[in-house]
Structure 1
Amino acid sequence: MNLLHTSQPSVDLSILPEIDYDSLYHDWYHPKLEMLIITPDNQSFINAVTPLKEWKNKKGVRTIILSNFSLYEGRDKAEKIRKMIKSYYQTENIQWVLLAGDATEDLIPIRYVYNPDTIEHSGSEYNGYDEYLKPTDFYYADLTGSWDEDGDGKWGESSRYNSHGVDEISWSPEVYVGRLPASNADELEIMINKTINYEKNPNVGDWMNRMLLAGGISSYSPAEDETRLTTYVIQNYIQSEMNYTHLTEHTSSYTPPDPKEVLTQNNFISHFNLGYSTVFFAGHADPFKLIRNPSNDIAYTNNDAK
């Protein structure tokens, strides 16, 4: 008997996962993009955003600058930009898009969607704004479909107005979209420098864990208590997560469960200037003011980068 020889159990190699070494090699040497910075086809704009691209890449966020969206097909510049974003989302699975330029046709145009608002007297045609078309950058974030499924040239119609009875917007964004609304390269450079400085030298403090909520009154008759919405947000999302301040105004038909302070112009501005990481206002507004502010009060806010 040969005691030195023992049989070894055979190993079924078929049960082991197959390793795709080619894919591992490609992902290691060709990591996917994460962020797009989109500028007008203008060298001064490209130069202005280059420091941000370099900073993002240094932090490990693979970022490129795109400006020549004329290579993509589209009925207008906005559709070409969206198709470019969609292409990179499908091939690179990007997460973030920064539109570096104001929302004008010659820079980075915004999409006007068909959303009639003709019931309110003085509705959205106030100060010359269109009562049928509403501007939104969500067009560049929600990449599902074309936003004009029936091809009538009216973008973002709801099923009520679409000739096929379908919503043209999915309301589920594929990417995060932000905008630096600079009208020229000098303005853009200032915004870029402030952004980089904020990320490199954050003003760390307890303000980062604070949230300001303000619930106003929408509509006219019957009025709608938006404090119901801010209360819902508090109770379901932030009550145990953040320190918050809740400013409220309400009609006699609704009383918040625990109102802290009354929503007034002075209260809101005073709190805003203390610094909060998140501010959520529910109520009427227009491009220049919140509904409780009787004048343009943006000039009075000063929160020291908080």
Structure 2
Amino acid sequence: MEKSNSLHSRTEYDFLIITPLCFKNQLIKLVKHKKKFNIETLLVTLENIYKSKYFHIQGRDRQEKIKYFIKNAYEKWKIKYVLLIGGHKQLPVRYIHNFDTYPGSSGIKEPPYISDLYYADLYDQDGNFSSWDTNDNGIFGEWIGKVADDQDIDLNPDVCIGRLPCKNRTEVKVVIDKIINYEKNTSHKPWFKNIVAVGGNTYPELGNTPEGEKDLSEALTYMKNFNHIELYSSNKKLTRGNIIRAINRGCGFLALSGHGNPPFWTTYVSTSTGFTWLPKFYTYHMHLLTNVNKFPICIASGCRNSAFDTNPINLIKHPTLSYYWMDCIRDCWMWAIVKKPTGGAIASLGSTGIGHIKYEHVTGGKADGWSYLLT
């Protein structure tokens, strides 16, 4: 499955899987499955990347060595898709730095946050390797306020990249089994044509405009061949129970526009006297999802819903900040919904940091396009 570059019988591959050695055996059946669909797949371990088994090693740290490897694989093997296997402890992450505060933060600055786009954005605008550290100070993707200290980062992905942030072999087995079953059995199933859109008044302090509903409704115009299940504040269908029931009935896509943190997703709903929070959908509610073999792709715009570097030990390392950022749980919301064996989602896409999508406030400008990811 893993041979030196000189022994490859093929010169081009479609799909590259990068994993620590401890997960390799659990991934072999995914490689075989992909090949049955004529997707030429190569499984590579981190250990062999670091030992220069395929290409001469380059890079100042492990993250940059992995990125250089992906760049070489793209150039030599024509790789189009890359899947990273492992959480932040198992497969290195690149932390991005935005030294800024925002209204209501009590002066607490945004902490460094994960960006796997780092691994996908291989080149700068001139076609050179994009280090994401153009001022060479060891701080990556550096912003201070509205100013980019690291210039000339174009943020354009050159390969499609994803990550399964598995912490152990059990999680690897669960998600690989889900993926294989999904790809074998989902095609042409009636439930897949359902798209569940969940939103309300994201920013009630700005007035009565239901921003979440407007974003989602615009996205739904691009999904004309789907059955639109709109769980909105305005139609009185926005409840946690209705969200869970809609997922359990089966849907191909689940889109949520609102607020969040690693342990929960929520938004505002309108009432006769104003606005109130929707009862939070916590990670511990995932046990209520019973949509076996009816897994949606989940997209959510809540802050930090995809911050997969959460860990209970964070409460000991930095108790005040951990309480504020809610990063002292085992699994973030978006990973919890994917790793669930008997329900949940097949894939998720969300924010690892603050989701700056406010319309009128200077912190975010116009919506950053989360809802339009459906298109």
Distance 1:211 1:57, change over 3 A: same
Q: How does 1:1-306 map to 2 (within 5 A)?
A: 30=10, 32-40=12-20, 42=21, 44-67=22-45, 68-70=48-50, 71=52, 72-104=57-89, 107-116=90-99, 118-121=101-104, 131-144=110-123, 145-158=130-143, 160-163=146-149, 166=151, 168=153, 170-202=154-186, 204-219=188-203, 221-222=205-206, 225-235=211-221, 237-238=222-223, 240-249=224-233, 260-291=235-266, 292-296=278-282, 297-306=285-294
Letter in 1 for 2:91: I
Structure 2, unmatched stretches of 5+, are 1-8, 124-129, 267-277, 295-375
Structure 2 vs 1, CA of residues 117 and 226 (structure 1 numbering), >3 Å: closer, same or farther? farther
Give a deviation string over 1:243-283, Cα, whole Å, max 9, x none: 2112223xxxxxxxxx5553221221221221111111111
Paired with 1:46 and 1:136, the residues of 2 have a C-alpha distance of 24
Q: Is the CA contact (8 Å cut-off) linking 1:38 and 1:65 kept in structure 2?
A: yes
SS state of the match for residue 156, structure 1? coil
Contact 1:156 1:167 in 2 (8 A): no
Q: Deviations over 1:66-93 (max 9, x none)?
A: 1122133223222221221121112222
**What is the rounded CA distance, in whole Å, between the counterparts of 1:96 and 1:137 in structure 2?**
13
Query: Take 1:124 and 1:208, find their aligned partners in 2: how far apart are those partners?
Result: 45
Alpha-carbon distance between aligned partners in 2 of 1:200 and 1:304, rounded to the nearest angstrom: 14
RMSD value, Cα: 2.7
C-alpha change, 1:284 and 1:139, in structure 2 (3 Å) is: same
Provide the TM-score with structure 1 as the length reference.
0.74
**Uncovered stretches (5+) of structure 1, i.e. residues with no partner:** 1-28, 250-258
Return the letter of the residue paired with 2:120. Answer: A
User: Which structure 1 residue ranges, 4+ long, deviate > 6 Å from structure 2?
Assistant: none
The answer to whether the 8 A contact 1:117-1:123 is kept is: no
Count residues with an aligned counterpart.
257
Work out whether residues 217 and 284 of structure 1, in 8 Å CA contact, stay in contact via their aligned partners in 2: no
**Distance in 2 of aligned mates of 1:215 and 1:181:** 27
Output one character per residue of 1:16-53: Cα deviation in whole Å (capped at 9) or x when no partner: xxxxxxxxxxxxx845100011011x2x3111111111
Q: Distance in 1 between matches of 2:83 and 2:113?
A: 21
SS of 2:39's equivalent in the other structure is coil
Shift of 1:204: 4.9
Q: Using the alignment, how far apart are the partners of 1:243 and 1:135 within structure 2?
A: 34
CA separation of 1:59 and 1:248: change in aligned 2, threshold 3 A: same
Residues in 2 aligned to 1:282 and 1:123: alpha-carbon distance in whole angstroms: 25
Deviation at 1:63, TM superposition (A): 0.7
Contact 2:99/2:143, CA 8 A, preserved across alignment: no
Mark the structure with the bigger radius of gyration: 1
CA distance in 2: counterparts of 1:121 and 1:94, whole angstroms: 44
Identity of aligned residues (%): 31
Shift of 1:95: 1.6
Task: State the distance in 1 between where 2:68 and 2:201 align.
Answer: 39
Question: Counterparts of 1:83 and 1:228 in 2: how far apart (Å)?
Answer: 41
Change (3 A) 1:230 1:123: farther
Distance verdict in 2 for CA 1:221–1:243, change over 3 Å: same
Preserved contact between residue 289 and residue 298 of structure 1 (Cα < 8 Å): no
Q: In 2, Cα distance between the equivalents of 1:198 and 1:149?
A: 41
Deviation at residue 140 of structure 1 after TM alignment: 2.1
